[in-house]
A and B are shown apart, each in its own frame.
Chain A
Amino acid sequence: MKFHTVEVEGVEALGRYVLLRYPWSGAIEPGQFTMARAAGYPTTFDPFLARPFSFYDHDGETASLLFEVRGRGTQLLAGAKETIEVSRPLGKGFRVGEENGRSLLLGGGVGVAPFKFLSRRLDELGVEHDVVLGFVDEGVAGVAEDFPRAKVATMDGSLGVRGTVLDAVGDLSEYSAIYACGPNAMLAAVKKAANGIELCQLSVEERMGCGNGSCNGCVVPTKARGLVRSCIEGPVFDAEVLAW
């Protein structure tokens, strides 16, 4: 895998999540991801692997990543001062077009990440859409400030509606497209609730080794074709494809 050294334009806290920006002028589709790490060889021996992150936003000049510090890899990225290393944009993103009817974007926890960018794209296409973000509690909901039009739900009711993203949505049948990203349990619930909606796409999160299809580590179960690599065939899947 080729990695590119890029300058860190900024690292800031959004609630308990971290937002990292770097220059990237190449094309990126909403829902695509990059493999990122704080430094390359020889520092990269520990932590050894890069980490996959969905793009949080891209305005054509600057790309950004939103993540939660969970281990050493993300800790080092959060502390990056000058440069980080990133792969080219990888995977298949969300299917969107001007023909999209009214669309719903559902983000759970750090799974809100791809929806800043998707919302931007839908705005550009003139597609009417609602954004609903769900969090455990107010402490992690800080990122919601960056989504002024979004409806928010928290499990403990400390901010917005008490409950899940689905509890905060009215009638799903108003929408012709639903996009979701979050924990697998949330995605399975969205898939069930979206039964009958024209388009339902889910962005899955799996542990990845390489990001380019080589290691076969990040598989997800599908109905028709067994386990498939989420880095190549995803991370965004049509809900009906997944055997959940």
Chain B
Amino acid sequence: MVMERRKTDVGLSVELFGRRLETPLMPASGTLSKEAVEEVRGVYGAILPKTTTPLSRDGNPTPRIAETPAGMVNSIGLQNPGVDEFMKNLDDFDLGVPMFVSVAGNTVDEFRELCERVSADERVFAIEMNLSCPNVEHGGLTFCAGASSVEEVVSACRGVSGKPLSVKLTFEGVVENAIAAEASGADAITVMNTMPALTVDADARKVLVKGGFSGPAIKPVAMRAVYDVSGAVDVPVIASGGVSTGVDVAEFMMAGAAVVQIGTVSFVRDPEEILGEFEEYLRKHEMSASELIGCLRGAGSV
């Protein structure tokens, strides 16, 4: 399948892991269903289905989502059919653009086995390691709980995978963890995951949803994380967190992102509008996408 090239007079493409992406946009993990994939044809430069795990997971009971001003809190629980079924249906996400696969394990061994398994498939362009899941060998703290934990799991995966590895980190300790990931062989850092949050049903006096906070409200936090991480590592940064407009995409690239993920906002906006706004920004400023990357720090800044 060949991607339909967008007709545009501005330079939207970027390079990642030696390959040209037609646009710097891709979905954030867990925010694009196979049923919605056709809606984003031509918009995303790379694709990324929902995180897969070694075995199928039912996920959490409802309520799983709660709305907040400019965002939402979710507690889905990594519901997925398990890696065997996932790989069988991977072609559902084939839009003719490079395919990322997001993996999550409960142990270092699970991560290693998943990476080995997924890396053997030639349809896979790169792997995103979702390190925000609990590490059952360390009392349920996430793999992002410290640099040594990041080093252990990234090194293990590096040892079995020849594919580019992007390590997805949470905000807590993001710079130290990014440095550790790079030192352990990561090819990119995805910054950042949702933030821990709680919503309450006041009438029932009960917890409504305890989970991860996403959406436009977290953008300034993600921006700070992307800026700090891109100043601390040499590998590319993939930004994720609260992007809702084309100008947001430009801002994240200025802060150092090579690629920008579109997540929660895709529930309330058409990602094509976001790409259109980004093109508009580039046209207005007579710049190409790749010229924006990191310009807040470099000679390109205004």
**Closest chain A residue, CB of each to CB of B245:** A41
Residue-wise interface mask of A (211-237) relative to B, using a CB-CB cutoff of 8 A (1 in contact, 0 not): 111111111000000110100100000
Asked whether B8 is an interface residue with its Cβ less than 8 Å from the other chain, the reply is no
Give A47 to B215 CA distance when docked, in angstroms.
Answer: 12
Asked whether A3 is an interface residue with its Cβ less than 8 Å from the other chain, the reply is yes
Give A137 to B245 CA distance when docked, in angstroms.
Answer: 46
Residue-wise interface mask of B (201-213) relative to A, using a CB-CB cutoff of 8 A (1 in contact, 0 not): 0000000000000
**Closest chain B residue, CB of each to CB of A221:** B61
Contact call B64/A219, Cβ cutoff below 8 A: yes
B-side interface residues, number (CB < 8 Å): 35
CB distance from B53 to the nearest CB of A (A): 14
Which residues of B in the span 52-98 have a Cβ within 8 Å of any Cβ on A? 58-59, 62-65, 67-72, 74, 76, 79
Q: A48-B72, A48-B215, A217-B74 are in contact. Are A1 and B36 (CB under 8 A)?
A: yes
Asked whether A63 is an interface residue with its Cβ less than 8 Å from the other chain, the reply is no
Contact call B74/A209, Cβ cutoff below 8 A: yes
The binding surface of chain B is classed by DSSP as: loop
CB distance from B59 to the nearest CB of A (A): 6
CB distance from B145 to the nearest CB of A (A): 26
Give A211 to B215 CA distance when docked, in angstroms.
Answer: 17
Q: A2-B270, A48-B69 are in contact. Are A213 and B35 (CB under 8 A)?
A: yes
**Closest chain A residue, CB of each to CB of B35:** A213
Residues of A within 8 A of B34 (CB): 213
**Closest chain A residue, CB of each to CB of B66:** A207
Contact call A46/B69, Cβ cutoff below 8 A: yes
Contact call B270/A48, Cβ cutoff below 8 A: no
Contact call A2/B79, Cβ cutoff below 8 A: no
**Closest chain B residue, CB of each to CB of A217:** B65
Contact call A212/B59, Cβ cutoff below 8 A: no
Contact call A41/B65, Cβ cutoff below 8 A: no
Residues of B within 8 A of A216 (CB): 30, 50, 59, 64, 76, 79
CB distance from B229 to the nearest CB of A (A): 26
Which residues of B in the span 251-302 have a Cβ within 8 Å of any Cβ on A? 266-270, 272-273
**Closest chain B residue, CB of each to CB of A85:** B268
Asked whether B33 is an interface residue with its Cβ less than 8 Å from the other chain, the reply is yes
CB distance from B197 to the nearest CB of A (A): 14
Asked whether B39 is an interface residue with its Cβ less than 8 Å from the other chain, the reply is yes
Which residues of A in the span 19-48 have a Cβ within 8 Å of any Cβ on B? 37, 40-41, 44-48
Contact call A1/B59, Cβ cutoff below 8 A: no
Residue-wise interface mask of A (45-81) relative to B, using a CB-CB cutoff of 8 A (1 in contact, 0 not): 1111110000000000000000000000000000000
Contact call B74/A48, Cβ cutoff below 8 A: no
Residues of B within 8 A of A209 (CB): 65, 72, 74, 267
Contact call A214/B74, Cβ cutoff below 8 A: no
**Closest chain B residue, CB of each to CB of A51:** B67
Give A203 to B281 CA distance when docked, in angstroms.
Answer: 45
Q: What 7 additional pairs, Cβ within 8 angstroms, besides A1-B270, A3-B270, A215-B76? A: A1-B267, A41-B273, A44-B269, A48-B71, A209-B65, A216-B79, A232-B35
B interface, CB within 8 angstroms of A: 30-36, 39, 50, 58-59, 62-65, 67-72, 74, 76, 79, 215-216, 244-245, 266-270, 272-273
Q: What are 22 sample pairs from A and B whose C-beta atoms fall under 8 A apart?
A: A1-B266, A3-B268, A41-B273, A45-B216, A45-B244, A46-B69, A48-B69, A48-B216, A49-B267, A207-B63, A211-B267, A212-B36, A213-B33, A213-B34, A214-B30, A214-B32, A214-B266, A215-B30, A215-B65, A215-B74, A215-B267, A216-B59
